[in-house]
Amino acid sequence: MAVDACPVSSLVSVLRERGATSVLFDLDGRPVTVKDVFHQAEGLARRLAEESVQTLGLQADNGLLWWVAAIAARAGGLTLVPVPSFFTPAQQQHVLRDAGVDALLTPAHADQQGELMPGYRLERYRCRQQPPEGCALVTYTSGTTGSPRGVCLEARQLDQVAAALAEVVIECGVQRHLQVLPLSVLLEQVAGEAVLRGGGTLVLSPLARLGWVGMAGIDTERLADRLRALAIHSAVIVPDMLAGLMAQQQLAPLTDMRLLALGGGHTPPARVADAMALGLPVLEGYGLSECASVVALNRPGQAVAGSVGHPLSHVEVRIRHGEVQVRGNSLLGYLHDDTPRAEWLATGDLGRLDDEGRLWIEGRRKHVIVTGLGRNVSPEWIEAELTAEPLIDQAMVYGDEQVGLRALLVSSATDDEIDGALARVHARLPAYARLNGWVRHAPFTREGGELTANGRLRRALVLSRPAALTTAVPDALAPDMTSYGE
C-alpha cells in the first residue's frame, strides 16, 4: 500500500509560528531569536533579489550565516547549493560550474562564525545553466571517483523528511541539538530542520572548536567536553566517532544526551550494542541523498543493534531481488539528467525487512564480490566482523575470482596479534567468506580522500592507488581455509 504524503508546513512558516522571542539558535551561550534571524534573512533576501540571484552557492563553517542564508533562500524560492569544505578545490569549482551558481556567499572574515550579526561577501558568477524548476537544494554526493554528482531536491521533500524526524525529536524530548557534522552534509541539514520543527534550539559552533582537525578526523575527547559543557540533548555522528565517544562515556557519562543519531557508513552491530549498554542513546538510521536523507531510523525503546529501524512515516520501503527500494520522497532529478524517475527508487543497497518491519542493510549491490567458487559475498559483512575485533580499527575487503578475498587493515597491533584476531573472525564466518590474505594500510581519512564526509569508504579510489596494494602479504596470513571447518 502506498504511503499518503500528508502536506506539511514549510520551514519558514513553522519558524514564524514559533513566535518572535522563541530561541532558534545558541551561539555558544548567546541566544538568537526568531526575530533576530528573520531580520537578517529578510535583509539578505532583499540583497539577493536586487542582484537577481537565482542559484546561491554557500561556503561557510557551521554558524549563524549558514542558517540565515538557508532561510533566505527557502523564503525567496531560490536554489541553495552548499559547497562542502571537505571537497578538493577542483571539486568545489566543479560544483559552482555544474550547478549554475550565479552568486557565492561566504563569510566576510574567517573568525566571525560566533558573531550574532555575521557579515558576508557575495561574489557574482556568470552562469550558463540553471537547476530544474522547483529545485530548492542541490546536494552533491561525494562519489567514489571523478566529479561529484548533483542531486536536486524540492522544498517539499526536505519539509517531509524533517517533519517525520521531528516526531522522533519530540518523542526523545530534545531541546538542544549540537550540529557536529559540517552543515554542507545533507544529514546535518535535515536534522537541524527537524529540531527546529520540534521546538528545539540548534547549538552552533565552528567545527574546529568541536575538535575537528580539518576533515582528517575529530578529537572525540574535545567533542565530549563540548557536549557536556553545553548540556546537549542530541547530535548526529558517523561511525568513526562512536568508539571515541564510548571511551569518553566510560570516563564521564554524557548525562544530558537523549538522542545520538548514527548515520553514514556501516557500524558493526556489536559496537552499537556495546554503546547502548554503556548508556549512550544510539539510534542507527539509513538514508540517501536521493530521498532527502533519512529513510529509516530506530525509535527510542525499540532500537535493535544492527538494524536501521522502521521506515519513517512519509516513505514506503520494499525489497526486490535483495535490493532496497523506496517510494514516497525521491529526488526531483539529477543535474543534467532528464531520465524519467521511476515510482520506486532503486537504492543499490542490499537489505531485508524482518517480520516486525525493521530494515536491515547488508551492503551495496555494486560492491558484491564473486569468489572463485561462485559465491556472492558482501564486503561490508566481513568488514563488520573484522572491526568488531578491538585490535582492528578499520578494514576494507576486496578481491575477485582470481585473488580470493583479501583485506586492507588499519591496526597498531603486531602481525601475530592480527593473525589471532583473524582466526577468531574466521571461526565466525563460513569458509567461502574467509580471507586468504591481508595488507597493512594507513588510516582511512576524509582528508586523504578515502572516506566520504559520512564515513563511507571510497573503495574504487583506494583500490586505484597501487601503493595501497603492493605491501607483501605475510605468509602466515594465508590460512588453510579448511582448518576452520564449515
pLDDT for position 479: 35
The two beta strands, 30-33 and 23-27, are antiparallel
C-alpha 280/C-alpha 227 separation (Å) is: 13
Model confidence, pTM: 0.83
| Residue 422 CA from chain centroid, whole number | 30
The single residue listed with the C-alpha cell 546535518 is 188
Which of 312, 230, 209 lies closest to 25, judged by CA? 230
Tell me which residues of the chain have a pLDDT lower than 50.
Answer: 1-2, 144-145, 469-486
pLDDT for position 475: 38
Give the CATH architecture of domain 368-477: 2-Layer Sandwich (3.30)
Which of 181, 177, 179 lies closest to 218, judged by CA? 181
pLDDT for position 115: 53
User: For the domain bounded by 11-363, which CATH number is listed?
Assistant: 3.40.50.12780
Which of 143, 158, 161 lies closest to 95, judged by CA? 143
DSSP 173-227: T--EEE--S-TTSHHHHHHHHHHHHTT-EEE---HHHHTEETTTEE-HHHHHHHH
> Could you tell me what percentage of the chain is helix, strand and coil, using 3-state DSSP and rounding each to the nearest 5?
30, 25, 45
Q: Where do the domains of the chain lie?
A: 11-363, 368-477
pLDDT tens per residue across span 111-145: 555 555 668 899 998 877 788 889 999 999 865 44
pLDDT for position 5: 55
pLDDT for position 342: 86
pLDDT for position 111: 58
Could you tell me the three cell numbers for 390? 578491538
From the number of C-beta atoms within 10 Å of its C-beta (0-12, 13-18, 19+), residue 38 rates as buried
C-alpha 470/C-alpha 169 separation (Å) is: 48
In angstroms, the Cα distances linking 424 to 270, 395, 405, 419 are 15, 15, 17, 9
The single residue listed with the C-alpha cell 557500524 is 267
